């Protein structure tokens, strides 16, 4: 599961839920500014979110560059894109078909994490 750190983790959780459609599964603690650990889900995708702290993981906002990129499967890419665009997300690349048979778009969250949402879903035959 990807782990993301945010300077404003509570704000990021709200934004990820409102903009991308994630659902907050739980947060520790349940309230307050600091988030030790939270889990969010979107379909079968799960991510972990927490406040920036001295554990080596930082928000891109803190270091001035993206620290990773995430790929999240969505079955209806164009509807998901419209939701994110309408919510004011910073679109890095609009939806496009790939040479490997998927469709995807790229977007940044308010602290600079780079997200790819797409229709590619690996098979379990590996």
Ordered DSSP codes for 46-99: EEEEEE--SSS---HHHHTS---EEEEE-S-HHHHHHHHHHTT-EEEEEEEE-T
Q: What is the pLDDT of residues 95-107, one digit of tens each?
A: 999 999 999 999 9
Please give the model's pTM, rounded to 2 decimal places. Answer: 0.91
The mean predicted confidence, pLDDT, of the chain is 94
């Amino acid at each position: 599961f990807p782990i993301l750190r945010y300077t404003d983790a509570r704000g990021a959780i709200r934004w990820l839920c409102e903009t991308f459609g994630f659902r907050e599964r739980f947060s520790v603690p349940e309230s307050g500014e600091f988030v030790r650990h939270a889990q969010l889900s979107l379909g079968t995708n799960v991510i972990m979110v927490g406040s920036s702290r001295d554990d080596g993981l930082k928000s891109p906002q803190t270091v001035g560059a993206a620290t990773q990129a995430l790929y999240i499967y969505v079955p209806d890419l164009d509807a998901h894109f419209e939701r994110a665009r309408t919510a004011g997300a910073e679109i890095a690349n609009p939806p496009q078909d790939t040479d490997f048979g998927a469709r995807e778009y790229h977007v940044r969250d308010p602290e600079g994490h780079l997200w790819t949402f797409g229709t590619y879903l690996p098979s379990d035959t590996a």
